[in-house]
Amino acid sequence: MKLTIRRAALSAAAVAVAGSALLVTGSTAHATTTPPWEPDSSSSGGLLFYNSSGTQITGGNISDGPIAAYVQGTTTIRQGDTKATLYGYLPVSGQVPGQWSGEAMSASTVYPNSSAPGALGTSTLPLVTGASDDESVATLAADYPNNSTTDGYKGVYQLRLKTTAAGQQPNVTYDSADILITGTTWSVLYSQSPATPTTTALAVSTPAAFHGDDVGLQATVTPSAATGTVQFKDSGTVIATSPVSGGVATTVTSDLSDGTHTLTATFVPDSGAYKGSTSPAKHVTVSPHPTKTKLKASSKTVKAGKKLTLTAKVAPKSAAGKVTFLDGKSKLAKVKVKHGKAVLKTKLSKGKHKLVAKFKPKHADDFAASTSKKVKVKVKA
């Protein structure tokens, strides 16, 4: 059935729906059987059905149009939306809910509706106001026959309340309820509870690390019953994804580059039963490994024309790179470090000399540069 967008007025025919409806005498009825696709990950919450006097109902006659005088979602769905529409879909085994076919069962009606009875008139939750020309469950079933013999699908339809606003497309998420047709009546089989909010906290094993070192990340999701995955992010970029078990997800990374990193953990639920959440940021600063360079001369006094041996030791021995030997500001030579040592044999001019060894790493991310203390050498005639 194709419906145009309008503000629906509740007609006498719509009021008559209450006469054939199943009233809720206590709390909302919940079926013991949960459809195989529930909780629907695209559904934010459930649907509540009311007659014209504002009394909640859980079923009615399939020929009634509208299905209920008022259908209310249990969540806001999307902030700023002002119009709500009821849709009906045929569940198909082997397909996800987003692949099902269906149609609009109501016009797009404006909410809040101050004319609605009781608390419905003051609620800001999405509300479809029924009209006499709205589609009945019987029409939905005729347009989309349910011929399934699969348990959980036979005779079942999903109703979805979608919201929108001027200039906006209908939201991709919705509130929903599954109904079961038995003969000439329908009844609520399953109405999803509003998604439970979650919080996510992130702990890091250290606020400072050297390049290549392991950094442990642990996300704690509350409530601990929430299932799904956690995306660990570095400035918004996912660096690891881990499953949540008992409210905890962990990972270890050694791939953080030098500098300060802004790390967060985002919980992604695997069903509509829980809402996602993102932790406050933690900061980890990664630095290159420090090095230490020591310079030793074979003698503090040497005769002119004689060779002097200079040995630079670089720690740790794993640090690759080159050592530049300097006499004051004058460069003597650049020597490759092997096994933590760089050796230079050189002749110095007559006089006093202040010698220094400067280590420059091959990979600046891995190791830091370092400079030795000055070594004084005197060359005599």
pLDDT exceeds 50 at position 7: no
What angle (nearest 5°) sits at the alpha carbon of residue 264, between those of residues 262 and 266?
Answer: 155
Reading the block at residue 107, the tokens are 């016009």
Residue 22's pLDDT band (cuts 50, 70, 90): low
Q: How far is it, in rounded angstroms, from Cα 58 to Cα 189? A: 9
Instruction: Pick the closest to residue 51 from 100, 10, 95 (CA basis).
Output: 10
- Pinpoint the alpha helices (H) of 182-339: none
In the structure encoding, which two tokens stand for residue 332, read together? 């003597």
Q: What was the pLDDT predicted at 171?
A: 83
Reply yes or no on whether the pLDDT at 346 is more than 80.
Answer: yes
pLDDT of residue 352: 96
With contact defined as beta carbons under 8 Å apart, do 326 and 355 qualify?
Answer: yes
Contact 105, 127 (CB under 8 A): no
pLDDT digits (tens, 9 = 90+) for 87-99: 999 999 999 999 9
Contacts of 190 (CB under 8 A, 6+ apart): 30, 31, 33, 34, 35, 38, 177, 178
Q: Where are the domains of the chain?
A: 12-191, 199-287, 292-380
CA 148 – CA 211 distance, rounded (Å): 59
In DSSP terms, 22 is beta-bridged to: 59
Q: What percent of the chain has pLDDT over 70?
A: 91
pTM > 0.75: no
Decide if 135 contacts 103 (C-beta within 8 A). yes
State the Cα–Cα distance between residues 45 and 199, nearest whole angstrom.
19
Q: What is the pLDDT of residue 19?
A: 39
Confidence of residue 168 (pLDDT cuts 50, 70, 90): confident
The residues pairing with 228 across neighbouring beta strands, listed in sequence order, are 269
- Is there a contact between 362 and 320 (Cβ–Cβ < 8 Å)? yes
Q: Binning pLDDT at 50, 70 and 90, where does residue 21 land?
A: low
Q: Are 173 and 78 in contact (CB under 8 A)?
A: yes
One-character DSSP codes across 298-310 = S-SEEETTSEEEE
Mean pLDDT of 146-175: 94
pLDDT one-digit tens code per residue, 110-123: 999 999 999 999 99
Selection from 234, 257, 253 nearest residue 365 by Cα? 257
Instruction: Provide the pLDDT for residue 196.
Output: 84
Could you tell me the two tokens for 273? Answer: 């039963």
The pLDDT confidence band at residue 18, using thresholds 50, 70 and 90, is very low
Instruction: Provide, rounded to the nearest whole percent, the portion of the chain with pLDDT above 90.
Output: 82
Region 141-169: mean pLDDT is: 95
E strand spans, 155-227: 156-164, 174-182, 185-191, 199-204, 208-210, 215-222
SS3 244: coil
* Residue 72 in tokens: 């209310």
Per the structure block, which two tokens stand in for 9?
């007025």
What pLDDT score was predicted for residue 270?
81
Interval 169-206: pLDDT, tens? 878 899 999 999 999 999 999 997 767 899 999 999 99
Mapped onto helix, strand or coil, the DSSP state of residue 137 is helix
**Homologous superfamily assigned to 199-287:** Immunoglobulins (2.60.40.10)
199-287 and 292-380 have identical folds: yes
Q: Tokens 């390049």 label which residue?
A: 211
CB 174 within 8 A of CB 167: no
pLDDT for residue 1: 43
Is a pLDDT exceeding 90 seen at residue 5? Answer: no
pLDDT over threshold 50, residue 4 = no
Please answer whether residues 269 and 229 qualify as being in contact, where contact means their C-beta atoms are separated by less than 8 angstroms.
Answer: no
pLDDT single digits (tens) 238-284: 999 999 999 999 999 999 999 999 999 999 988 767 889 999 999 99
The arrangement of secondary structure in 292-380, i.e. its CATH architecture, is: Sandwich (2.60)
